[in-house]
Amino acid sequence: MEEDTKELNGTLRFLSEKLERLSIDMEKAQLSEYVNLMHRPWQLIIRNFIAGLSRGVGIALGFTFFAATIVYLLQMLGALNLPIVGDYIADIVRIVQRQLEINPH
Asked whether the beta carbons of 49 and 57 are under 8 A apart, the reply is: no
Is-above-0.75 flag for pTM? Answer: no
Domain that holds residue 69: 1-102
Size of the chain, expressed as the number of residues it contains = 105
Identify the pLDDT of residue 23: 86
What is the chain's pLDDT, residue by residue, as a tens digit (105 residues)? 777 788 888 888 999 999 999 888 888 878 778 888 888 889 989 999 999 999 999 999 999 999 889 888 877 877 777 777 777 777 887 888 888 788 765
pLDDT at site 65:
93
Is-contact 66 58, C-beta < 8 A? no
Q: Write out the DSSP string of 41-81.
A: HHHHHHHHHHHHHHHHHHHHHHHHHHHHHHHHHHHHHHHTT
d(CA 7, CA 85) in angstroms, rounded, equals 83
Task: State how many domains the chain has.
Answer: 1
